[in-house]
């Protein structure tokens, strides 16, 4: 099957990560994956959620939002008191993924908020937010390490994510908008650089899938995420 953008079934969209996209955040990047563009920025707060007070450990959380014209038609702007169920689900996924590779005891009683703001959406915004969020978090931690605020790098490994779709009977890596919207089955997968999966989301949009499909999806995601790790490493090396 020929894909809309002429990619091979196991080929990622072009990915570009621009570190330091915002001047004032402790760490920030613009991640571009195909036509999807997401700003990820990290802010440090000298406090932690109530359940961690006096524990000596910190926390990492995320917030996610889409600008009104990130999509082909205007999406109403969300407020801090009225967040859509989709945005809540995505920001929880991003937070879980980043916490899974962070040593909270190395943070002290500090909270790190990773804001993920979608400038333009062409599928895969949640996975791009995780991939870019990791680099922004690395930047923030590295800056604090150099300043002596923290004593060691809290990140235990890299983390990145990718989507996979079953589209017209074929399993496709990193689907574009049309492939994602018309998929028979849709998957989002998060993995660390030790080769361990952190989260696997799989939904039968139009048709149920087999155990064999899951195995193929895992293998394809593993291949794609390992390529993304190289892109992250190159972005970090440029700092």
Q: pLDDT tens digits for 201-234? A: 999 988 899 999 999 999 999 999 999 999 999 9
| Rounded Cα–Cα distance for residues 132 and 119 (Å) | 13
Q: How far is the CA of 42 from the CAs of 14, 35, 98, 127, 221, in angstroms?
A: 24, 23, 12, 17, 27
Q: pLDDT tens digits for 158-209? A: 999 999 999 988 999 999 998 988 899 999 999 999 999 999 999 998 889 9
**Residue 189: CA atoms inside 13 Å, Cβ hemisphere, count?**
28
Name the DSSP class of 11.
-
- CA-nearest of 114, 112, 113 to 149 is 112
Q: pLDDT tens digits for 90-130? A: 999 999 999 999 999 999 999 999 999 999 999 999 999 99
**Residue 222: CA atoms inside 13 Å, Cβ hemisphere, count?**
10
239 Cβ neighbours under 8 A, 6+ residues apart: 19, 139, 142
State phi, psi for 133 to the nearest 5 degrees: -60, -35
């Amino acid at each position: 099957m020929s894909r809309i953008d002429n990619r091979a079934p196991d080929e990622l969209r072009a990915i570009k990560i621009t570190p330091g996209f915002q001047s004032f955040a402790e760490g920030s990047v613009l991640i571009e994956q195909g036509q999807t563009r997401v700003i990820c920025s990290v802010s440090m707060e000298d406090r932690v959620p109530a359940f961690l007070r006096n524990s000596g450990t910190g926390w990492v959380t995320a917030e996610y939002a889409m600008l009104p014209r990130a999509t082909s038609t205007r999406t109403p702007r969300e407020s801090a008191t009225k967040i859509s169920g989709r945005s809540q689900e995505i920001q929880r996924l991003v937070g879980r993924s980043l916490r899974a590779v962070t040593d909270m005891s190395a943070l002290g009683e500090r909270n790190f908020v990773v804001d993920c703001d979608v400038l333009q959406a062409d599928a895969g915004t949640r996975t791009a937010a995780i991939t870019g969020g990791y680099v922004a978090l690395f930047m923030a931690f590295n800056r604090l390490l150099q300043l002596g605020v923290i004593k060691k790098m809290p990140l235990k490994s890299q983390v990145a994510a990718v989507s996979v779709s079953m589209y017209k009977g074929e399993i496709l890596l990193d689907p574009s908008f049309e492939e994602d919207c018309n998929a028979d089955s849709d998957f989002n997968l998060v993995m660390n650089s030790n080769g361990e999966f952190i989260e696997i989301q799989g939904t039968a949009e139009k048709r149920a899938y087999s155990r064999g499909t899951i195995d193929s999806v895992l293998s394809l995601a593993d291949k794609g995420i390992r390529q993304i790790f190289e892109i992250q490493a190159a972005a970090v090396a440029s700092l």
